[in-house]
Amino acid sequence: MSVFDVISERRSIRKYKNDPVPGETLRRILQAGLLAPSGANRQTWKFYVVQGKKRDEMVDVLKKALDNREKEGENVAGARHSFEIMAQAPVNVFVFRPNRKAPWLASTISQNFSDIVDIQSVGAAIENMLLEAHELGIGSLWVCDVFSACNEISAWLGEETELIASVCLGIANEHPAARKRKTLDEAVEWLS
């Protein structure tokens, strides 16, 4: 399968079978993430792989987070849907940025620039994992709603750095059609 085919055929999967992801397959997906380009080769990512019995603990942490956000008056409908998907995925990979202790607190132009570069690098690592998962027949979903539970997840994992996203992995139990995409004419300005 060509790289372009993998890119064009990959879909966000929101329904999973309960089958485990084979260990060697999971390691290859994670290795693909580690091979992503990163600004100044800082490789600003750390992955926590949650599966098996720890998945039940994760579900409890996510439920607690939703309860906390509701008590705080937040609308949690989107997060609730994402957390339901995470609860059924056999594997969840929490992606942290270990060189940043507190999120969204950049105060200098240099720190802002560094943050943007690091976030792009982490995004490249996540995309590499999604593409490798698809090539290996594993469904995936990039979840950003984990921000609704970042304090609870971080405390559960004993992690003090910035949570960026989560990636669900598992055998797909759906085959969604491609969503409408912008055309080249809509998204590209050609300068010659």
pLDDT in tens, 21-65: 999 999 999 999 999 999 999 999 999 999 999 999 999 999 999
pLDDT in tens, 142-152: 999 898 999 99
Percent of the chain's residues with pLDDT above 70: 97
- Contacts of residue 66, defined as CB under 8 A and 6 or more positions apart, other chains included, come to 76, 79, 80, 83, 148, 149
Domain 3-187: which CATH number of 3.40.50.2300, 3.30.540.10, 3.40.630.10, 3.40.109.10: 3.40.109.10
pLDDT of 101 > 80? The answer is no
pLDDT in tens, 118-140: 999 999 999 999 999 999 999 99
pLDDT of 71 > 80? The answer is yes
pLDDT at 49: 98
Structure tokens at 130: 């999604």
pLDDT of 104 > 80? The answer is no
Region 106-125: what's the mean pLDDT? Answer: 86
Angle at 16 between CA 13 and CA 21, to 5 degrees: 105
Q: pLDDT averaged over the chain?
A: 94
Give yes or no for a contact between 148 and 68, defined as CB atoms under 8 angstroms apart. no
Q: What is the pTM of this model?
A: 0.93
pLDDT of 155 > 70? The answer is yes
pLDDT of 106 > 80? The answer is no
pLDDT at 86: 97
Structure tokens at 112: 């802002």
